[in-house]
């Protein structure tokens, strides 16, 4: 089983915290679509006959494209790949792009089964701080429209740690989300990435800085409230009811193969990892000449092990030490000795983080990384 990710590099306006590749100009849209169709054709051998299980339209903002644009893309994709066994087809959308119920229903006819809505907050002061294009009323209205159109598999994104977000309002954000009876919530701490607008404005004193203690406190509230509402924290930032996981993202963590299409998109086939050029003009011009413009690395044995450590520890399934041979096991166990025993459990060769350990997931994974691997 494998997945296909399509990066749509257009946004209505720039959220100040975002470090994904996008453009706020649609001037190159038609050229981009033609280039994407060529990339679909030229990459058809990358997954080598794998059954396609998931499709994910991300970005950027895929809902910036018209239905006709999306129909053309999916039609070409289906002419190259057998999509009859796709079990999950996700589209990311911002609330302000979900104002038309007929458009939402039409997306279903294109094969979309799951909406991931970028709500981020139900409070306008937070949305303004992040420079989001929608307001709180639009956020709630978009959820209702998608539900009224008959979609059950809906995920929303929420961000905590925003300087404008009080602990009281964070709890209210969660209460509002729970009241919509949504099956999946992805929630992330606001992170100040280098060279973003948020980074520059904080440095200039134009916006208040992010407080790590606030973020950690609100993350603990998040975990407690999710558990109380019967949401399973199956990955550090992802919560699901009734086992309705994000299949596409879960497959990333399981190390399954995937093809990334569009500028800046990543691909992985268990042998190499590659990533497309992060520039619309370069992407388009290369594909005009039928050239795939990407960088690539062949993964070493150590990199494969370390990626499994990083992704496994983020999930409820953990990282299986017993899948490896003795030298690797010994090195991981040696590294494990330096980690607080309250931050992990180990049972039958499976390492898992405790709730408190999830606060330090990246640091713990880095401590466990192996340096030299002869054989896996």
In the chain the domains, ranked by start, together with CATH numbers, are 2-252 (3.30.750.200), 301-368 (1.10.10)
Q: Show the tokens assigned to 321.
A: 């030490």
Nearest to 5 by CA among 186, 242, 275: 275
pLDDT(375) > 60: no
Residues 6+ apart with CB under 8 A from 140: 122, 176, 180
**What integer best gives the mean pLDDT of the chain?**
95
Q: What is the pLDDT of residues 218-251, one digit of tens each?
A: 999 999 999 999 999 999 999 999 999 999 999 9
Once rounded to an integer, what is the mean pLDDT over residues 88-95?
Answer: 97
Closest CA to 369 of 298, 297, 312, 307: 307
Query: Phi and psi at residue 371, in whole multiples of 5°?
Result: -105, -40
pLDDT of residue 376: 43
Reported as a single tens digit per residue, the pLDDT across 277-310 is 999 999 999 999 999 999 999 999 899 999 999 9
pLDDT tens-digit readout, 160-199: 999 999 999 999 999 999 999 999 999 999 999 998 999 9
């Amino acid at each position: 089983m494998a997945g296909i990710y399509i990066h749509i590099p257009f946004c209505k306006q720039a959220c100040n915290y975002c470090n994904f590749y996008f453009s706020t100009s649609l001037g190159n849209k038609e050229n981009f679509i033609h280039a994407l169709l060529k990339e679909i054709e030229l990459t058809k051998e990358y997954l080598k006959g794998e059954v396609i299980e998931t499709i994910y339209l991300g970005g950027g903002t895929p809902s910036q494209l018209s239905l006709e644009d999306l129909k053309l893309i999916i039609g070409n994709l289906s002419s190259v790949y057998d999509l009859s066994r796709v079990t999950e087809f996700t589209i990311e959308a911002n609330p302000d792009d979900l104002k038309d119920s007929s458009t939402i229903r039409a997306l279903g006819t294109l094969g979309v089964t799951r909406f991931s809505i970028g709500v981020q907050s139900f409070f306008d002061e937070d949305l303004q701080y992040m420079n989001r294009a929608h307001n709180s009323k639009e956020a709630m209205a978009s959820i209702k429209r998608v539900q009224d159109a008959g979609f059950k598999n809906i995920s929303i994104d929420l961000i905590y740690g925003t300087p404008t977000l009080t602990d009281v309002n964070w709890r209210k954000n969660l209460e509002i989300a729970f009241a919509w009876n949504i099956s999946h919530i992805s929630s992330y701490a606001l992170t100040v990435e280098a060279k973003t607008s948020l980074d520059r404005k904080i440095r200039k004193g134009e916006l208040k800085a992010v407080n790590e203690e606030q973020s950690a406190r609100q993350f603990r509230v998040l975990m407690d409230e999710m558990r109380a509402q019967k949401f399973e924290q199956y990955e550090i930032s992802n919560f699901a009811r009734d086992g309705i996981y994000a299949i596409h993202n879960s497959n990333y963590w399981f190390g399954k193969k995937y093809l990334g299409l569009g500028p800046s998109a990543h691909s992985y086939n268990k042998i190499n990892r590659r990533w497309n050029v992060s520039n619309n003009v370069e992407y388009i011009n290369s594909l005009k000449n039928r050239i795939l413009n990407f960088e690539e690395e062949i993964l070493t044995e150590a990199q494969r092990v370390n990626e499994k450590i990083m992704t496994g520890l983020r999930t409820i399934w953990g990282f299986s030490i017993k899948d490896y041979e003795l030298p690797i096991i010994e090195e991981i166990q040696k590294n494990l000795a330096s980690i607080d025993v309250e931050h992990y459990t180990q049972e039958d060769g499976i390492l898992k983080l405790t709730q408190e350990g999830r606060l330090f997931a990246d640091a713990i994974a880095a401590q466990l990384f192996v340096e030299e691997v002869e054989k896996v």
